[in-house]
């Protein structure tokens, strides 16, 4: 785990990105920002009132917050251009210019608009806001990357020392955070996006298993058909993927089970990227592996947005926020 974050930190320092923290007076966020600035990892943009931010920094004894750029959501004159952009983006949805001017006072939206205007490279939020609010601002303003149909959320799973699973103990699971009930096309998109996350962030060579309760036709059900169809679509979208399915989790990761249930599969028995058939399965699976197997779950990393925005758990620590900023910087670097 140390190696993963050291690699991400070194890369971020060498290619400094501009990261927005909309929850600017939230203490854990400020502590993480202070450390990011002290280590020269990224340029930080805080959205809030300069006097309040300075007072909070003094109260927390933070020395480096003064290096951050501050954008005031109540500076109506300076922010009119962002209101105009939001209005243009959303007028078809019935948003008026007056609505847009109100909306951009929400730091989550203003942050995404700064990215849209090329003034920042990524955003990290969620220590105070819900997942839905963080995601909705990103969906409405930034939207998906070119060629991507749906945003999803992956976890980089770091297995405990000595575990035989994954590449050097690293696996990637998706979607564990965003799309409650993906159709075959969305599931294919999840596989393609997770392939990219596995390569650029987790630093592994992806072998992708499309998971189901069936292996190679052992059961018939429309839920199995969906996974079979998604596997086919993913191969069409990205022929170089090393992907196979449908298969059960044991066939995906245990060589002896793979030999019996999926002989001849290039992926079965050595999968290090697991794509789950829906969010219920993905979310439960990552939490069980984390708790029962003692794995460290890094994420969720939001994949497929036009620019990186990542969501924090409201129970996060300053260290979690620091690491999420590292992931966001590296996603931004991979985009350029
Ligand atoms: N990818 C891209 N765009 C999307 C996606 C997606 N996956 N989902 C919604 N959108 C877009 C819609 O197209 C829509 O765009 P438009 O307004 O321009 O037409 C916009 O986002 C809003 O869409 P809604 O359907 O109104 O979005 P809604 O508010 O219903 O929900 C949300 C979106 C919040 C992501 C929802 O899917 C959700 O709640 N997902 C589960 C999140 C969650 O609770 N995860 C578990 C916790 S996280 C964890 O445990 C790690």
Ligand 1 atom 26: the closest Cα is on which residue? 136
Pairing of strands 170-174, 152-158: antiparallel
Distance from Cα 39 to the centre of ligand 1, integer Å: 34
The pLDDT of residue 289:
96
Question: Which candidate, 60, 62, 55, 54, places its Cα nearest to that of 36?
Answer: 62
Distance from Cα 278 to the centre of ligand 1, integer Å: 14
Q: List, in order, residues 6 or more apart from 140 with CB less than 8 Å away.
A: 89, 90, 109, 112
Ligand 1 atom 46: the closest Cα is on which residue? 177
Total-model pTM: 0.93
Q: What is the pLDDT of residues 175-209, one digit of tens each?
A: 999 999 999 999 999 999 999 999 999 999 999 99
Q: Can the peptide bond before residue 300 be classed as cis, meaning omega within 30 degrees of 0?
A: yes
**Phi, psi of 294, rounded to the nearest 5 degrees:** 75, 25
- Which positions of the chain have pLDDT values less than 70? 1-2
* Ligand 1 site-directed mutation target among 139, 156, 288, 291, most atoms within 8 Å of CB: 139
Number of the ligand 1 atom closest to the C-alpha atom of 140: 18
**253, 230, 324, 132 alpha-carbon torsion, rounded to 10°:** -130
DSSP 100-150: HHHHTTSHHHHHHHHHHTTS-SEEEE-SSS-HHHHHHHHHHHT-BPTT---
Question: Which candidate, 227, 23, 238, places its Cα nearest to that of 137?
Answer: 23
Ligand 1 atom 39: the closest Cα is on which residue? 132
The answer to whether 104 touches 113, Cβ cutoff 8 Å, is yes
Which residues surround ligand 1 with Cβ inside 6 Å?
Answer: 93, 131-132, 135-136, 139-140, 144, 150-151, 176-180, 283, 300
Q: How far, CA to CA in Å, does 232 sit from each of 102, 174, 210, 322?
A: 45, 18, 10, 38
Number of the ligand 1 atom closest to the C-alpha atom of 176: 51
Query: Residue 87: how many CA atoms within 13 Å on its side-chain side?
Result: 13
Distance from Cα 55 to the centre of ligand 1, integer Å: 36
Distance from Cα 282 to the centre of ligand 1, integer Å: 16
Ligand 1 atom 42: the closest Cα is on which residue? 178
The pLDDT of residue 336:
79
Q: Can the peptide bond before residue 223 be classed as cis, meaning omega within 30 degrees of 0?
A: no
């Amino acid at each position: 785990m140390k190696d993963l974050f050291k690699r991400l930190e070194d890369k971020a320092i060498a290619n400094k990105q501009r990261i927005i923290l909309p929850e600017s007076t939230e203490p854990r966020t400020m502590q993480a920002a202070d450390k990011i600035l002290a280590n020269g990892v990224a340029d930080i943009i805080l959205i809030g009132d300069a006097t309040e931010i300075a007072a909070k920094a003094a109260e927390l004894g933070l020395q480096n917050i003064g290096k951050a750029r501050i954008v005031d959501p109540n500076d109506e004159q300076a922010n009119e251009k962002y209101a105009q952009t939001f209005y243009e983006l959303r007028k078809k949805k019935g948003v008026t210019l007056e609505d847009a001017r109100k909306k951009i006072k929400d730091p989550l939206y203003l942050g995404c608009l700064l990215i849209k205007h090329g003034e920042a490279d990524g955003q990290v939020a969620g220590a105070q806001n819900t997942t839905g609010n963080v995601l909705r601002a990103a969906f409405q303003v930034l939207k998906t990357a070119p060629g991507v149909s749906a945003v999803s959320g992956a976890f980089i799973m770091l297995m405990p020392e000595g575990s035989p699973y994954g590449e050097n103990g690293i696996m990637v699971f998706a979607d564990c955070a965003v799309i409650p009930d993906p159709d075959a096309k969305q599931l294919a998109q999840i596989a393609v996006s997770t392939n990219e996350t596995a390569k650029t962030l987790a630093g592994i060579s992806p072998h992708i298993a499309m998971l189901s309760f069936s292996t190679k036709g052992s059961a018939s059900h429309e839920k199995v058909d969906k996974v079979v169809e998604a596997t086919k679509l993913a191969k069409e979208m990205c022929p170089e993927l090393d992907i196979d399915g449908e298969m059960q989790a044991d066939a995906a990761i245990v060589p002896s089970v793979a030999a019996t249930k999926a002989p001849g599969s290039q992926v079965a028995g050595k999968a290090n990227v697991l794509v789950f058939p829906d969010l219920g399965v993905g979310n439960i699976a990552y939490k069980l592996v984390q708790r029962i197997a003692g794995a460290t779950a890094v994420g969720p990393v939001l994949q497929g947005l036009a620019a990186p925005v990542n969501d924090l758990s409201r129970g996060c620590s300053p260290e979690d926020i620091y690491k999420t900023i590292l992931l966001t910087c590296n996603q931004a670097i991979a985009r350029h």
